[in-house]
């Protein structure tokens, strides 16, 4: 097998880790609260700016900047729920889409106003690993490792803890969880904070590989939504798997043609699959 | 223990309960019988806080339950086994039981309670890792009752535990309820299956179109000509 094809496959796998993390966050919020945060990738953008300013500009330790980015975006998630979602919870889905869509433009414009449209780099150069003629970006390797660890931690939390079990139960019967002492409002807030924290974690990993600018969210927002729909909206395991399917298509398409063609290919595959299975490849009817 | 005085409730403009007065004392098993649409389930929903009462008094152990949300009512010691069981179908049996012990004071004793519930219902121990939605109706009812017991309630509300079950399984469910009684739980139970119910309980209320029509000891109701004709088919 062509060693460069192996390299492309490996790079696809590494790219998939971060996308899987984003898909998990979006699916968690959809599955629990039944809303789609259109501005999810813009929360990632905010987290990337936190790391940029704290580490890249003020030279705080990277680990501290990363922790503050995760906590900061988790808090932002709380605010999104409390200020935007909670008041319109019972209203039609289209209103919720419009509200979080509005947040997307607000965050983009606000970032433009504060920071301008410059591309900013945190100025950390991580080495490229050379293994058997393949070049593997160390930043991507770290991103993949941390993303998988984060997803694993989320899995353990959701399957083993009381709070995690309640979070999984609430989407199955919103009324009856109250009879077990579960306060729905509190679960929604916790879920929003976890969704925010996942976006913050993804931000820390992406800022190692990409420059931050106000429109960076557009680079992975749409692909994240495609992944979630492909995996079956709200289906966390489906979304996790779909992330790797999409990232491999992009990566292999990039190997045979070009990066752009790879992304076009991903969209074509997405549209074709949605025609065949509108509920997503892992969704149930 | 539970005191309800002149309680009314409504869904929007549709009034479902009119001036209900009812009492459950500690250690008692009390039944509520009546035809479909009489308001039996509504009464249970008002007690557990799923539906706010519109007027009247509702108190448990001397403290008002008026406008107390459901998630706080269970902390007071009232567990509600809802109509149609309402398990979390995509969670395992044990995860359903874990949710039952969600409250802080129940969490601390989770392992101990789980052991006790499995001892009471060995069938659930065998099925602990099975998805709740894939079990038979009788097993699901067992799991729903066990889930309610995980919170260590003082009062157990059972809404139509035998509904939709095969006759043989109905018998098993009544045996379950008898077992729970013998464990010393106070029970308020709604049932269509009047004949079997009257064998099980101490007292009963007859609810018709949102009003209490009759009440008395189980033996009195069994002997009542109206109940015999309308509900026992004798």
Instruction: Summarize pLDDT for A201-252 with one digit per residue, the tens.
Output: 999 999 999 999 999 999 989 999 999 999 988 888 999 999 999 999 999 9
pTM for this one? 0.92
Structure-block tokens of residue B27: 């250690």
Looking at residue B70, its pLDDT comes to 95
Closest CA to A40 of A57, A14, A58, A19: A19
B153 Cβ under 8 Å from any chain A Cβ:
no
CB contact under 8 A, B103 and A165: no
Looking at residue B164, its pLDDT comes to 86
Cα–Cα distances (Å) from B187 to A112, B38, B99, B130, in that order, read 63, 20, 21, 28
Average pLDDT over residues B81-89: 95
Instruction: Find out whether B87 and B143 touch, Cβ atoms under 8 Å.
Output: yes
ipTM of predicted complex: 0.91
Residues of chain B with pLDDT > 70, as a percent, come to 100
Residues of chain A with pLDDT > 70, as a percent, come to 99
Average pLDDT over residues A119-123: 91
CB contact under 8 A, A165 and B71: no
Average pLDDT over residues B154-179: 91
Instruction: Summarize pLDDT for B106-117 with one digit per residue, the tens.
Output: 999 999 999 999
A172 Cβ under 8 Å from any chain B Cβ:
yes
Q: Is the pLDDT of residue A97 over 70?
A: yes
Structure-block tokens of residue A14: 């590494």
Looking at residue A284, its pLDDT comes to 66
Q: Is the pLDDT of residue B7 over 90?
A: yes
* Half-sphere exposure for A96 (CA within 13 Å, toward CB): 18
Contacts of B90 in chain A (CB under 8 A): 168, 172
Instruction: Find out whether B8 and B53 touch, Cβ atoms under 8 Å.
Output: yes
A260 Cβ under 8 Å from any chain B Cβ:
no
Instruction: Summarize pLDDT for A187-205 with one digit per residue, the tens.
Output: 999 999 999 999 999 999 9
Looking at residue B36, its pLDDT comes to 87
Left, alpha or beta for B7 (phi > 0: left; psi -120 to 50: alpha)?
beta
In this complex, the residue of A179, A181, A183 whose CB is nearest that of residue B82 is A179
Looking at residue A285, its pLDDT comes to 54
B107 Cβ under 8 Å from any chain A Cβ:
yes
Smallest Cα distance from A284 to chain B, Å: 13
Average pLDDT over residues B140-167: 94
Looking at residue B232, its pLDDT comes to 84
């Amino acid at each position: 097998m062509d060693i460069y094809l192996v390299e492309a496959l490996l790079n696809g796998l590494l790219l998939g880790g971060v996308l899987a993390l984003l898909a998990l966050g979006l699916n968690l919020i959809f599955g629990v609260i039944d809303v789609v945060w259109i501005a999810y990738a813009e929360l990632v953008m905010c987290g990337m700016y936190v790391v940029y300013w704290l580490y890249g500009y003020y030279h705080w330790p990277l680990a501290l900047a990363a922790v503050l980015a995760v906590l900061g975006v988790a808090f932002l998630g709380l605010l999104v729920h409390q200020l935007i979602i909670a008041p319109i919870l019972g209203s039609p889905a289209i209103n919720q889409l419009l509200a979080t869509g509005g947040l997307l433009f607000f965050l983009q414009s606000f970032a433009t106003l504060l920071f301008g449209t410059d591309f900013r780099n945190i100025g950390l150069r991580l080495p490229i690993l050379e293994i058997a003629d393949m070049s593997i970006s160390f930043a991507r390797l770290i991103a993949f490792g941390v993303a998988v660890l984060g997803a694993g931690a989320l899995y353990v939390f959701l399957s083993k803890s009381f709070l995690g079990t309640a979070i999984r139960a609430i989407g199955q019967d919103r009324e009856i969880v109250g009879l077990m002492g579960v306060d729905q409002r509190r679960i929604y807030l916790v879920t929003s904070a976890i969704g925010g924290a996942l976006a913050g974690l993804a931000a820390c990993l992406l800022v190692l590989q990409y420059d931050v600018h106000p429109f960076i969210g557009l680079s992975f927002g749409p692909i994240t939504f495609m992944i979630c729909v492909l995996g079956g909206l709200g289906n966390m395991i489906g979304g996790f798997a779909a992330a790797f399917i999409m990232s491999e298509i992009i990566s292999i398409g990039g190997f045979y043609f070009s990066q752009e063609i790879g992304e076009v290919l991903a969209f074509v595959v997405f549209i074709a699959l949605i025609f065949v299975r509108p509920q997503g490849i892992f969704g149930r009817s | 223990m539970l005191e309800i005085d002149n309680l009314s409730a409504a869904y929007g403009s549709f009034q479902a309960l009119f001036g209900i007065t009812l009492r459950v004392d500690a250690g008692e098993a009390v039944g509520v019988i009546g035809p479909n649409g009489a308001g039996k389930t509504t009464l249970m929903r008002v007690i557990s806080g799923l539906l706010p009462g519109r007027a009247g008094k509702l108190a448990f152990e001397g403290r008002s339950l008026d406008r107390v949300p459901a998630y706080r009512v269970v902390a007071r010691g009232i567990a509600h086994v809802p109509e149609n069981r309402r398990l979390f179908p995509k969670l395992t049996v044990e995860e359903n039981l874990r949710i039952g012990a969600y409250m802080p004071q129940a969490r601390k004793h989770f392992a101990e309670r789980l052991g006790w519930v499995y001892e009471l219902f060995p069938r659930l121990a065998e099925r602990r890792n099975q998805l709740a939605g894939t079990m038979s109706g009788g097993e699901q009812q067992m799991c729903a009752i066990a889930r309610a017991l995980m919170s260590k309630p003082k009062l157990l509300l059972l809404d139509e535990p035998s509904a939709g079950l095969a006759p043989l399984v109905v018998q098993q469910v009544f045996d379950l309820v008898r077992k729970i009684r013998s464990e010393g739980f106070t029970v308020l139970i709604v049932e269509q299956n009047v004949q079997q119910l009257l064998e099980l309980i101490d007292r009963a209320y007859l609810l018709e179109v949102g009003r209490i029509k009759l009440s008395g000891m189980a033996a009195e109701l069994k002997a009542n000509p109206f109940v015999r004709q309308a509900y026992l088919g004798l």
